[in-house]
Amino acid sequence: MLEITKIRENKDEIIAALKVRNFDADKSIQEVLRLDNEWRSAKGELDGLAAEANKLTKEIGDLYKSGQADKANEVKAKSAALKANEPVLKDKVAALAEEINAILYLIPNVPNKIVPPGNADTDNVVEMEHGTKPSLPKNALPHWELAKKYDIIDFELGVKVTGAGFPFYLGKGARLQRALINFFLDHARDAGYKEVIPPLLVNEESGRGTGQLPDKEGQMYHTPTDDFYLIPTSEVPLTNIYRDVIVKESDFPIKLTAYTPCFRREAGSYGSDVRGLNRLHQFDKVEIVRIEHPDRSYQALEEMVNHVEELLKALELPYRKLRLCGGDLGFTSALTYDLEVYSAAQDKWLEVSSVSNFETFQANRLKLRYKDADKKSVLAHTLNGSALALPRILAALLENNQTENGINIPKVLVPYTGFECI
């Protein structure tokens, strides 16, 4: 959520910056400022009333002490009349704040200055490409055919038991999945991230805190009876650990990691791009989350991207790094880098990680602050990244490493799998 103080001070710059996202914020910002003026006026009146009531309370006490009971009773009546207006003003202030927040919840984050303009993923900037695309045998198969051939993933069984997008991992497929999870977690631990096993369901306040609600409400699985949401990523419970918390400046950097299943409805997803493991409703992911001092958050973003790159290099997967354009940028992000791996049998790039800096956008919703050197409460910066999402990593590993004799396992994973080939 954008900070109201920054909107007051930088209205035109914010409106112009949001156009990079193809978002016209002019009317929303003007309405926020109008309501903010009303709120400040009502809040000033409420504060003045409270100050006057305190002054009268002291005056009443002094009059009683000096034996002027009649005069004290007159002032007491005046004080009671003042206090009668207090609930009305409090309700007005609260209602105006709620109106302001309702609008702010629908305005996306201001993009960083280096976010390129653009309308869709075709306008993203490819910053670098690493590795050599593999040459496959003539009879190479896509991963969904490999999964069937070697009996390691059963998509049809998932349809029977649940529905499309909920596959079963079997035998060496399950062991390879578990090996990847442990490999990613071990590397996160070695990089200083504290491992957490969080809940897989969160309440509405948590969804609002990290910005999934109301923006992605239709994409989240909801349990109406308890009013809980299944997590689309462990970013949600991990970051909400610090909702309504004031951390110490000396606590930075706060680094957390978690493996969880993730759940996304992916409404409207059809066609070849969603076949097999390319897009699932339930998938496994290891996430890294950082809470940072504002002065260090962009250095932290670079470190997180480097962390993901090291994982991809270790897996010997060709990959590229993209800087997302305004039209492809997530609602809460100020700057996002995507990492994509090359899937040889499909001859396409598959996104496996998004690493984002949200600056104060989430922290303002969460009321996540720290005390600076002057003992002033300041909003922290939050960041998160996939390190890594498993389905497309697995798809690329199966396709890129297929041979006439089976599927070779990257050397770095063999200690985790206990086998070298499927």
354 is in an annotated binding site: yes
Token pair for 50:
């409270």
353 has binding-site annotation: yes
132 is in an annotated binding site: no
List of residues 6+ apart from 373 with CB closer than 8 A: 249
Residue 242: Cβ within 10 Å count: 24
The reply to whether 41 sits in an annotated binding site is no
Cβ-contact 221, 280 below 8 angstroms: no
Angstrom distance (rounded) from CA 371 to CA 378: 6
Domain 4-104 sits in CATH at 1.10.287.40
Report how far apart, in Å, the C-alpha atoms of 197 and of each of 184, 231, 313 are.
14, 13, 27
Q: Where are the domains of the chain?
A: 4-104, 121-417
Report residue 338: phi and psi, to 5°: -100, 140
Q: How would you write 161-206 as a 3-class SS string? A: HCCCCCCEECCHHHHHHHHHHHHHHHHHHHCCCEECCCCCEEEHHH
127 marked ligand binding residue: no
Query: Is 292 assigned to a binding site?
Result: no
Please check if 264 is assigned to a binding site: yes
Domain 121-417 belongs to what topology? BirA Bifunctional Protein; domain 2 (3.30.930)
99 assigned binding-site residue: no
The answer on whether 384 is annotated among ligand-binding residues is: yes
What is the residue-wise DSSP string for 59-115?
Answer: HHHHHHHTT-HHHHHHHHHHHHHHHHHHHHHHHHHHHHHHHHHHHHTTSPPPPPTTP
Q: How far apart (Å, rounded) are the C-alpha atoms in residues 293 and 295?
A: 5
pLDDT of residue 59: 84
Has this prediction a pTM greater than 0.75? yes
Q: Which tens digits make up the pLDDT trace of 61-81?
A: 888 888 888 888 887 888 888
Residue 135's SS3 state is: coil
DSSP three-state, residue 3: coil
pLDDT by residue, tens only, the chain of 422 residues: 999 999 999 999 999 999 999 999 999 999 999 999 999 999 999 999 988 888 888 888 888 888 888 888 887 888 888 788 889 999 999 999 999 999 999 999 999 999 999 999 999 999 999 999 999 988 999 999 999 999 999 999 999 999 999 999 999 999 999 999 999 999 999 999 999 999 999 999 999 999 999 988 789 999 999 999 999 999 999 999 999 999 999 999 999 999 999 999 976 555 557 899 999 999 999 999 999 999 999 999 999 999 999 999 999 999 999 999 999 999 999 999 999 999 999 999 999 999 999 999 999 999 999 999 889 999 999 999 999 999 999 999 999 999 999 999 999 999 999 999 99
Confirm whether residue 266 is marked as ligand binding. Answer: yes
